[in-house]
Every structure is written in structure tokens, then in C-alpha cells.
Amino acid sequence: MPEEEKRYDRQSILSQWDEGTQEDLRNSRVIIVGCGALGTNTSATLARAGVGELTIVDRDFVELSNLHRTALFNEADVGRSKASVVQERIEEINSDVRTEALPTDLDPLNAERVLKGHDLILDCTDNLLTRYLLNDFSVKFGTPWIYAAVIETMGMTMNVNPEEGPCFRCLFPERPPSGTLPTCDTAGVINTIPQVISALQSTEAIKYLTGKKVNTGDLLTFDIWARDLSTVRVEKDDECVCCGEEKYQFLDSEVGQTSHSVCGREAVQINPHMEEEINLDELAEKLEGLGSVEARDVLIRFEVENYRITVFKDGRAIIEGTEEEQVARSLYSKYIGN
């Protein structure tokens, strides 16, 4: 038996695999946005399954606090670019997979260039802002994506194929104000839930890439601690700003976050451009215990790692300790949430 046949033998003999299935996987181009717990598991699974081409995007570096839940990263990787480490490990797992590592921040300026040319987009990010951006691109160009998210002991996932069903904004029409949602860095995450959600996401990806029937529009939620699985039907909303009115507000930078370095200081300002104000008391409570928090009536100051983050009521934050917008955006996403 030739090497390649041997490698895929245990999946090829499945009744779900027909003659062209492995070939379909080999001819597929997939982009994985985010290399945390979801992205590392999903990229390893798809590489092992024989997906031909994987593009790996992540703006962050491996941290010690990632290791409890991520696949592929080891202690020696701390401080290295997540995207590059994943690329290296995938090449060790399956040298037939063509990989590209993009250690970059997906934003409205680069989104079209980065996402174009892929058959499927996998959301393995940790923030809603990027998901709205993926959704805009998906609806505008007709590329399906698979939403996946984990927090605490919960996970959720939904296949979005704009040609067939509802989009992400049919489900969540407006972006919630920054600071209102918990993040894995403020609320924690159990290390088993990403494996389950990644397994669901990867299975759906394999089905889609090989032309099998794929559900669109069911939001699946699983609480692994309570062993509670539920599915909610999401209907396409004709008045949806994105798939109904065909306005791509996140891709066109009409809404969403901006950042710029502050002149003369080692600091970056992040502006989420929100209509609603942040509840600073709630945010201070969330951050308590993660670093030192000092609350004043119009702002809070939070010191963590070697950074000082000042958050204002309108959601703006000045992040001192870095001049790099990418680093500042990542810190904002972790501790304030967007």
C-alpha cells in the first residue's frame, strides 16, 4: 500500500468517505484565524486529516498561561509567535500540507487580502470584533465560515454559509459594548471544552470541504461541566444589516475599533467607538485579582504584567508600556473584551 494510502487508511474506510473524499481534502485551502486552544487543536486535526493547504493567523506570542489548554505548544515555545510555532508543528505532523504562517492582526485594512483565496474560514479567535469582520467578508464574497467560541465551561459553534442560511449578524445584530462580556483571561476556561468545540468545528470543516451535507443556522451550545448540549435554530433576518442590507460596516471600517500610538509616550490609545458607556464598576470587579485596580469615577487604572491600562467610560483605553498597536489591541481584547 503506498504511503499516502496507508496514512489515511483508517478514515478512508469509513462509510462517509467515498472515492474522491481524500482528494477533495487535499485540494482544499483553509484559513485558521486565531491560534489559541481552538486554533491549535483544529489546525492539528485538519493537518492530520490531509487538508492540502492551511493558512495560520495569530497576532500573539505563546504565553505560559496558554499551555494548560492549547495543543502543539510546549514550555520552550513561550515568547515565540503562535502562528510560526503552529506552522512548524504542522510540518512535523504532515509534511504534505502546505502551510503559511501570518503573525499578524486581522483588521479591516488587511482582511480582504488575507482571507481571499480560501475555501473555508475557521473562527478560532477570542473576540467578537474579529468575528464581525469575518462575517462581513464571508457575506460579501460568499465564503463560508465556522463560528466557534469557548469561555469558562461553555462552548458554542455555528456554521455560517451566507448562500444558504443566516449570518452571524442575524444572530447577534449589534456588537455588545466593550467590557461587558467575560474573556478567558478574566473569567477563565476549562481545558476540555476547546477540545470538544474544536472537534465539532473540524468535523464540520471536513464535511464542507468534501461536499457533504452541512447544517447551516443551528447554534450549538455545550456546557461540558453540566454535560448539557443544546441547539437553537437561528433564522435568516431579512432586515439584517449585513446579509439583508448588504452593508459591511466592519470591513468598511464604519464601526469598530481604532488604535494609534500616543505621541511622545510609550503608549497606545484604543478606541472601540461605542454608542453605549462601559460600566466601570463591573469592569473593575472583573479585573480584581488579576492585577492592581484603582477605580475613579470616570476611569479605572489597571496594572498587569508590565502594562498600565487606563479605561474611560466611553470604552477608550490608553495602554502604557508598549508602542505596538498589535500588542495593545491584544491586551484590550484580553482584559476588557471586545
- Which chain residues interact with Zn ion by CB under 5 A? 167, 169-170, 240, 242-243
For Zn ion, the closer CB: 114 or 170? 170
Min dist CB 291 to Zn ion, Å, is 38
Min dist CB 240 to Zn ion, Å, is 3
For Zn ion, the closer CB: 38 or 242? 242
CA-wise closest residue to 212 among 2, 18, 34, 1:
18
For Zn ion, the closer CB: 234 or 328? 234
Min dist CB 117 to Zn ion, Å, is 24
Strands 53-57 and 145-151: unpaired
CA-wise closest residue to 157 among 167, 168, 145, 149:
149
In angstroms, the CA 26 to CA 45 distance is: 14
Q: Which residues contact 174 (CB under 8 A, 6 or more apart)?
A: none
Nearest residue (beta carbon) to Zn ion: 240
Min dist CB 115 to Zn ion, Å, is 18
For Zn ion, the closer CB: 30 or 242? 242
Min dist CB 135 to Zn ion, Å, is 8
Three-class DSSP category at 28: coil
**DSSP state letter for 302:** E
For Zn ion, the closer CB: 17 or 172? 172
Please list, residue by residue across 238-276, b when 16 or more beta carbons sit within 10 angstroms of its beta carbon and e when fewer do. eebbbbeeebbbbbebebbbebebeeeeebbbbbbebee
For Zn ion, the closer CB: 154 or 243? 243
Min dist CB 170 to Zn ion, Å, is 4
**77: its cell numbers:** 515555545
